[in-house]
Structure 1
Amino acid sequence: MDAVMQVVNGINIVLWDWVLLILLCGTGIYFTFRLKFIQIAKFKDSFKATFGNIRLRGDKAGRDGMSSFQALATAIAAQIGTGNIAGAATAIVSGGPGAVFWMWVSAFFGMATIFSEATLAQEYKTTVDGEVVGGPVYYIKAAFRGRFGKFLAALFAVLIILALGFMGNMVQANSIGEAFSTAFNIPAWCVGLAVAAVAAFIFMGGVGRIASVTEKIVPFMALLYILGSLVVVGVNYQQIGPAFQSIFIGAFNPQAVMGGALGITIKEAVRFGVARGLFSNEAGMGSTPHAHAIAKVKHPCDQGIVAMMGVFMDTFVVLTLTALTILTTGALGSGQTGTALTQVAFSSVLGQAGNIFIAICLLFFAFSTIVGWYFFGQANIRYLFGQRAVKFYSLLVVGFIVLGSCLKVDLVWTLSDMFNGFMVIPNLLGVLALGGVVAKRYRDYREDPLRNR
């Protein structure tokens, strides 16, 4: 088992620290320039379209799709997860405070990438057996005709089912089980059974129940964590200035902040900041387009504009607040990393309530991710095997949730990372090949006289 772990870790280092860093950032830079800095030009429209359409009880989603906000909520449910609590902490420990700056950079370019993914998902969505479906498999097939396109689409489908639907949901359930075991001394398997039961109820309700749950849970969980973080940062308000100073100085001169003895260089700051940022906001990974594809909008770019706000909220708001709680409280010197480091930061202000708060936030973050990742996997199960296979897939996911909450899942998490990384490649090949389609649709969108009144 150790030998397998070493091999998989070696592959992940090459994938996430080099290949995907270049591919994901390169794609974001390409679309940023081709779309004339859409992140800035359409940020106001994105903000207005997102927060002007928040509904806790929106129209019921069904076979004809879901509302634009429900689609975004489903996407954000997957984007904002345990990585927002543990990812920022790990990046700061490994790359210094400057890693946060490079998270921002990757998210800025990632907003252009996710606009392109969502627009293409809308452009190439279709109807199968009377139900609206869409996602990377459809635009990958459109980008590459013939057997090669079918092969790439099928490869992507298999990878995302393994990475998110099965392995990813195991580690999300494990995070919930560990957090509640630590905070409340509840056996992890009991928590796993409870989570699995609620998840099964949601899964059985289909797209309508998934949309109904995400449109309610996402605003609540985001607001809860934001308010808690602001309390911790507010108590240590005198350290806000020095925290930002360490971020900007550390981005280009990490040793001036962390000390040369730690061996952190600008290479580590860039590598860990970009990799953790992209892994958290999922821009370019091909996961969130499944939700954006079935949004009921008038123009494909309407959903692309909304999709950008998901990356902004994930990285510029939630991840940044996690980083500030760590930097303003001085928790970085505690010797902890990951979720434990974030708990140290919150506990320094809230005491034992800090551990409980993080456990509750982890419950919402991880559970919403389970729902989102199940939905993405379901879309690809249907593509590969048809509607009849969905029930069997649902039962398997519920079983993996129970199993994941009870077991040590280090290898599963590492394998999930690897398959997650591999699925980026066929997705971005399709997105880049259809760059001309994205640019044309965006040009039509901007030149629409009715839209620009």
Structure 2
Amino acid sequence: MELLNNLLLYIDSYLGSAAYFPYLLLGVGLFFTLYLGFPQVRYFRHAWRVVAGKFDKKGTPGDTSHFQALSTALSGTVGTGNIGGVALAIFLGGPAALFWMWMTAFMGMTTKFVEVTLSHKYRVKTEDGTMAGGPMYYMDRRLNMKWLAVIFAIATIISSFGTGNMPQINNIAQSMEQTFSIDPVVTGAVLSILLAMVIIGGIKRIAAVTSKIVPIMGVLYVIGSLSVILYNLDNIGPSFVSIFSDAFTGSAATGGFLGASFAYAFNRGVNRGLFSNEAGQGSAPIAHASARANEPVSEGLVSILEPFIDTIIICTLTGLVILSSGAWTQKFENVFARTDLVFVTGQYDDHNDADREQLYKYLNGKKDNTVENYSGTVQVVDGIPKNNGEYTILHARSVAEDVHFIVAGEDPYTGKLPIKNGQLMKEDIEVVGKSLIHSAALTSVAFSEGYLGDFGQFIIPISLLMFAFSTAIAWSYYGDRAVVYLFGQRGVMPYRILYVCGFFWASFADTTLIWTASAVAIVLMTLPNLLGMLLLHKEMKQTVKSYWEDFRSGKN
């Protein structure tokens, strides 16, 4: 697993984690924001009126209403990215990462508007009478770049597993195990059966289910978030100050958090922002293509609301819960994930300014850092490591405390443990101790720091269950539309079976590996989509102009 994770990290270093990617993503959003005259601001009110059905007409071709299409698309975006993803971004980049998530969302409102409009414009009716759309269709039918459309469709299928499937059930199962002690295999088996029952019904059943789940889960999550934010109201001001003051400098060290550079906070904020709202990825246009509308721009306007609801509202609530509670700087008892565990040479104390500076440089990839990975042995007696200053154990980007080693999950280990280049080489050893935590576990702890007390932590598994399960439902539709494009209707059922099997497997797989795989899959969709959008920028502007001319004259 470590080798596979390292390979995926290497690939990601040239994709989502590469220096160019955040600038490219934000740059495309900024270009269209300026080119189309800030549509996310000018058309915001009109978008709500379209969703409310103010301009609906009978007999309009499509499979779903504007609201159902928005609900399906939102169910695909509102998921672990809003709960675990925000926590991961803050864990990696500090408060500054939340600022860059906002910027990604603001620019993403325009990006989403463009990709949905173009995708809806070139949608087609399939063999079974349902609509199929998405960037692959405008790439093929308008740009005559079938090779690019094929790349996008293949990437969509991969991403349906890496974004909408595996990270979702993995976070649900992890949360259910932590809160209710339910075996991940049981969680995976039950939800896999439910998933199969929903997705076999196609887009109409999917839309019917998601249009009911999305409003309920949104209200529940807002109430739970406010119970923490209002309880920690005195910390809200300082939280906002840290978000903005650190935006262009990086986040300073505080508590167990060792600090994050500007580049790291910027990259992680944009990356997690994309994972959360998917603007530019090209996934949501597939759901919006099913909407009943003659005018593609009308559905594009509906999509403007997605990043706003997903990131500006829900992700902000999550971020403020985590920051105001202070949980992101505290160390908690947890079982260490091997992919987050490293031994470094020498003794480092995170209360010492000089040591913190060196560890900051090491964790942020600075060239002038002097920290080296440890190779040697660790002597352990009754589970407790004997350390004469030869090494320091880091876990989850923090100095680990009260570390002990266990065999088979319960018996203290005694003996020597081999360490090679910072990695523990003995596979059957479980490492437990105090460190920073991240993803859904961090959000869960933060939710217990409010008026609801320990009961607050139950909001996360319940919210994750609804958020993430609905995401998996929506992404099954994205994947099967890509399968229809590549192989026709005959490929849909084999895909759905494989999708459900992958969903079950991921319930008990390593969390870090799943997140890394999803990061790679996202960018494999995004790059072709951004290229296609840029090539059609003139057509997009003309399409928008024609829509408003017809609207003012009463033709639509």
TM-score range, shorter chain: over 0.9
| Offset, 1:315 | 0.7
Partner of 2:21: 20
1:315 has 2:304 as partner = no
- Once residues 33 and 555 of structure 2 are traced to their aligned partners in structure 1, the CA distance between those partners, rounded to angstroms, is 21
Residue type at the aligned position of 1:347 = S
Matches of 2:441 and 2:172 in 1, distance apart?
Answer: 14
Secondary structure of the equivalent of 1:8?
A: helix
Deviation at 1:274, TM superposition (A): 1.6
SS at match of 1:14: coil
For residues 239-278 of structure 1, what are the alpha-carbon distances to aligned partners after superposition, in whole Å with 9 as ceiling and x for unaligned?
Answer: 222211111112134456859x934232223222222112
**Which of residues 239, 247, 250 in structure 2 aligns to 1:243?**
239
2:109 counterpart residue number? 111
Aligned to 2:10: 10
Distance 1:168 1:256 in 2: 33
Pairing 1:20-169 to 2, within 5 Å after superposition: 20-50=21-51, 52-53=52-53, 64-129=62-127, 130-145=129-144, 149-165=145-161, 168-169=164-165
Deviates more, 1:434-443 or 1:349-358: 349-358
Does the residue aligned with 2:187 lie in a helix, a strand or coil?
helix
**Which of 396, 410, 421 is the matching residue for 2:498?**
396
- Name the structure where strand makes up a greater proportion of residues: 2
Bigger shift: residues 73-82 or 97-106: 97-106
Residue of structure 2 equivalent to 1:344:
445
Letter in 2 for 1:46: A
Counterpart pick for 2:213 among 177, 198, 217: 217
Q: Is the 8 A contact 2:94 2:259 kept in 1?
A: no
Note if contact 1:21-1:274 (Cα within 8 Å) is conserved in structure 2. yes
For the 8 Å contact 2:84–2:171, the answer to whether it is kept is no
Supply the distance in 2 between the matched residues of 1:153 and 1:92 (Cα, whole angstroms).
Answer: 35
8 Å Cα contact 1:78/1:370 also seen in 2: yes
Return the alpha-carbon distance in structure 2 between the equivalents of residues 167 and 242 of structure 1: 33
Give, in whole Å, the separation in 2 of the partners of 1:63 and 1:189.
42
Partners of 2:142 and 2:531 in 1: how far apart?
8
- Between the two proteins, the alignment pairs up a number of residues equal to 445
Q: Distance in 2 between matches of 1:250 and 1:30?
A: 25
Q: CA deviation at 1:62?
A: 12
The superposition leaves residues 3-52 of structure 1 with CA deviations (integer Å, 9 ceiling, x where unpaired) of 332121022133113233122111101110111011111111123333x3
- Distance in structure 1 (CA, Å) of the matches to 2:83 and 2:506: 19
Secondary structure, aligned partner of 2:3: helix
Q: Which residue of 1 aligns with 2:283?
A: 287
Cα distance in 2, alignment partners of residues 415 and 143 from structure 1: 31
| Post-superposition offset of 1:415 | 2.4
Aligned residues of 1:159 and 1:423 also touching (Cα < 8 A): yes
Shift of 1:388: 1.9
Residue 179 (structure 1) aligned with residue 175 (structure 2): yes
> What CA deviation, in whole Å up to 9, does each residue of 1:298-328 have, x standing for no partner?
3111111110101101110000000100111
Q: Is the 8 A contact 2:95 2:251 kept in 1?
A: no
User: Normalized against structure 1, the TM-score is what?
Assistant: 0.92
Contact 1:98 1:248 in 2 (8 A): yes
Contact 1:143 1:430 in 2 (8 A): no
The separation in 1 between residues aligned to 2:23 and 2:63, in whole angstroms, is: 35
Change (3 A) 1:353 1:164: same
Are 1:372 and 2:474 an aligned pair? Answer: yes
Aligned equivalents of 1:297, 1:326: Cα separation in 2: 40
What residue in structure 1 maps to residue 352 of structure 2? none
SS at match of 1:262: coil
Amino acid across the alignment from 2:78:
I
Give me the whole-angstrom Cα distance separating, in 1, the residues matched to 2:328 and 2:88. Answer: 10
* Match of residue 334 from structure 2: none
What code does the residue aligned with 1:343 have? S
1:131 CA drift (Å): 2.6
Cα pair distance change 1:412/1:103, threshold 3 Å: closer
- After superposition, the Cα gap between the structure-2 partners of 1:68 and 1:374, relative to the gap in structure 1 and judged at 3 Å, is same
TM-align CA RMSD: 2.5
Alpha carbons of 1:4 and 1:370: their partners in 2 closer, same or farther (altered >3 Å)?
same
Whole-angstrom distance in 2 between the partners of 1:116 and 1:251: 28
Q: Would the alpha carbon gap of residues 412 and 247 (structure 1) be closer, same or farther in structure 2, given more than 3 Å must change?
A: closer
CA apart distance, 1:63: 8.9
Partner of 2:125, secondary structure, is: strand
**Structure 2 counterpart SS, 1:16:** coil
The 8 Å contact of residues 160 and 423 in structure 1, kept in 2 or not, is answered as yes
For the 8 Å contact 2:122–2:142, the answer to whether it is kept is no
SS of equivalent residue, structure 2 residue 448: helix
Q: Which structure carries more helix by proportion?
A: 1
Partner of 1:433: 535
